[in-house]
Structure 1
Amino acid sequence: MKENKARLYLIFTYILILAGSVVDLGTGYFTEFLNYSALTPGVLFRGGVVLPVFLLWCLKSKSSSLIPLYLGMLCVLSAVFLGLSAGLQTSLISKISGLLKVVYPYLGLGGLIYIHKYKRYFHTNEIWTLGYYYGVIVIIGIIFFTYVGLGIQSYSHQLYTSSGLYGAANDTGLILLIAFCFFLYYNISFQSFKVSKLIVISLLFLFSAFLINTKALFIGIPVSFIVIMGYSIFAKEVKSASFKAGIFLITALFIGAVWYIVQYLQDLGLTYTLSRITELASGNFGFRNYAFGIEQIQNFSLTEHLFGSQRNFLIIESDLIDIYGKFGMLFCLTAFGIPLFFLWKIFKHFLIKRSLQDLVLVIGLSFYLLHGVIAGHALVSAQVNNIIILVYFLIWLRLKR
């Protein structure tokens, strides 16, 4: 009976995570075709189901490792309520919604820790599999709905770009980037390496990247493939000489395929995509208008510096500037301090253990932070934070060993 109950907890946790990738399809439909962006399926699911469940699990957990999480949440909530009492709030719903999007992955981490310690032990390969499946569902949502004519254009002036039924191209692109890291490690480890699966799924990721057309995907997919597959040749987890030779050959073929695609984009008439790749090659990563954001912040009062401003700040799509501008210094330090702490801890662990798993986690979390600083749509994205929960949890598992 106890084992059955634990199994139900595990299945329910899987549903909470994976359902986000399906619910977000409904959010895209509501915002694009119904022109309704208030109580979308994503808001209702995460706000009405996922967040309350994760919060309940966090509160029931007595793990000392969650103390920093509680302190961080207390700091954030104090900042918000002090801001409200100072009369700075013009839209209570907007501020609370933005706050919860950033806090969401840490509540999810606390929930998974509770299930792991008190209900049912998670096996590491289950979490890697979960992240890989998440990416596959997103790929299906992109390709299928684009094929049936319901795809939402990533860029309105380019007809061939599409994020499927996911409305936010940058958010969806970052999800694919993180999920691709999950897939590569999943395919290398757990005795699940299959050349055919690696080639087919990698091509599907590449095709989805081509449809979405974000710069992050154009640079992230090749870089993560080359680095992860290349390092696996030297990693302790991979011991078979023939396996290493196969990885080397596949990596070489992948590089050749990417080069071939770039060379023929011009012949296909897809000059916009080619121009974006050329910009990346020249070092233009598309930084947002930092000068405008900083100029706004320089005009803040002391109270606005501490707690942010809803009235006197226009977002520039850089999480670092936008979080500071909307929620203030206290919230910004907390929001970026926690992922930087996790990144530093797992990077140190990698330097000691030289583990491929650690390297993949470093790459995934680095993409998350860099995307947030350069292009936004990371720390403030509920869609992205749905999968980043798994990255945090895997890091926690690694550090607890």
Structure 2
Amino acid sequence: MNPRQEQFSAPGFWADPVDFFSDLRRDEPVFELPGDGSYMLSRYDDVKAASARPAVFSSRRPRLGEGDPEYEAIEADSYPVVATLPQNDPPVHTRFRKLVNRAFAPNVVAALDASIREIANSIVDDFGGRTTVDFCRDFADVLPSYVMADWLGVPRSEQVRFKAWSDDIVETTLTPNMSRERMLETRRTYADFQKYFADIIEDRRVSPRADAVSLLVGSRVDDERPLDVPEILDILRAFLVAGNDTTANLLSGAMLLLLDHPDTFAEVRADRAALPKMIEEALRYVSPAQVTMRTLVADEEMSGCPMRKDRRARLVLASANRDEKQFADPHTFDIHRDTSGHLAFGHGVHYCIGHLLARAEAKIAFEVLFDRLEDIRLAGPRDEVRRKPMPGVFQLAGLDLTFRYSTGDTARADRLGP
């Protein structure tokens, strides 16, 4: 194992991989990972090109747990895992995308604005007058979970279960060499997820509501057959990850960036029109989903480096978004740069279907926070704020903030009374 492979294999690698990716872009843009023989693509042009070529870089992947009697026994007692949106290629992927698109149409997302604002305000109310909170736990994790719960038509009290399910799904997606014990554990929790939502799906068949599950149950395009239960469950799995983890990590990452750049923080507070620019730059800089996985269905070459058929390829979105050839001075947080080419939501046929909702949540969240709170600061030393070493994901271990409530905080008075 060479020094770079040792560096990648070290515990805690994913807590701070930025310099490693910079070295890869310069010296080894197609890096063969130790242990599983997969490739890591780090340059912007390569990541974008691979994302746009599903005929070579397939989203289909080996079935987890195949041949393991205990794993298959768990599956036999629940529902099979089928491939729909994230783990499929055209033309099969195209069918599912058409059936799901209407759930994320611009008018549907716009209709959620008032609800998102109400949720954000209610979370600040739930601070209960505290002037120190863990922003990750007390706000960033909660907001997207509540939005997702309302959108799916389930109780907000399920937020903790949603978060646990979402974390497990991310781990199974981005950890090819997962231990057998952990693989079985995540399959049991996914069986719980399946059983929970299968009951809701059957209820919506009988009594449709104004929620996303009902939209999926009733979704039809031309002569396409309706979605069956395993297909809806897999789509909901994709919703859960995109609607919880990635948005939560964007919120906490953007807040930390603002705290690290007080001039930008002051500018955005003073000019709310700058919020969308700040969010796009935070998406580029943080890259909440750092890696997306593909499987090579043919021998290929990128940046002069050969890759062999049937190997896995990790497209490092986080590295592409810091590529010096695409973004000048890429390690500088600059809300006035042109971010239009960033790959935080992916590229090509798998461009994140929920991008409008994630952007809306982030914009409204910061509007509410700026309305309700002043003098937001870190509650402890900056060097104690750390990322979790989660493979392929940007996630802070915590973000303790201190603040005071705005003197003009009429929202709290209106909601709670004098």
TM-score bracket for the superposition, by shorter chain length: under 0.3
Structure 1 or 2: more helix by fraction:
1
TM-score by length of 2: 0.26
TM-score by length of 1: 0.27
